Amino acid sequence: MTIDSHTRVEWSEGIRSVNQNVEPEEPQARPADPGAMDPTAHTRLSETGIVPMKDFDTPPGGMTLEDARAVEALPPTSALLIVQHGPNVGARFLLDAPRVTAGRSPDADIFLDDVTVSRKHADFIGEGGDYAVRDVGSLNGTYLNRTRIDETSPLRDGDEVQIGKYRLTYHPSPNRPAPGVGAIGS
């Protein structure tokens, strides 16, 4: 069966019904602010109906409107890590010190409570608004854009850092100093 603009698939109590030759619905007027009063902003359709986004990964595009606003408000020498996959999807971690530790230890600056994370797993090293990540001898390794790292690796906007089950995206402040000024790895 071909599903096109004249086919409607509906789910009701776990049963799928397909109606063909249905006139397409007129687009609904959207509020001026895309995040204002949009009941679908944090939901997705599943086989059993509409479910909260917390049960899935982050929406397409990687950041919610709230995440984008948080990144925009960052001080010049800081950055934000946002959990995209794994426990605590949507959690944000601020990088605002020369060294930020991540691990399963409650003493870590970024506490990631999962057995796939070592007590002392990774460090985020900051200098002049730029950050790098390094593994500190973890059992499962630290990955940058799905490649295991063995040495300190500079981070760029949108990079994915994986620590155990957690996949976090890196978002530096848009107000940071010009590239190359105190840059790590330059």
* Residues contacting residue 73 through CB under 8 Å, at least 6 positions apart: none
> Is 118 buried (19+), middle (13-18) or exposed (0-12) by CB count in 10 A?
buried
d(CA 175, CA 177): 7
| β-pair partners for 103 | 111
Q: Tokens standing for 123?
A: 């460090």
Q: Tokens standing for 19?
A: 């109606």
pLDDT mean by block of 10 residues, the chain; 186 residues: 45 43 50 42 42 45 84 94 94 96 97 97 93 97 97 97 97 81 54
If DSSP codes are grouped into helix, strand and coil, which group holds residue 66?
helix
Say whether pTM exceeds 0.75.
no
Q: Tokens standing for 47?
A: 């086989």
The predicted structure's pLDDT at residue 128: 79
The predicted structure's pLDDT at residue 63: 82
The predicted structure's pLDDT at residue 105: 97
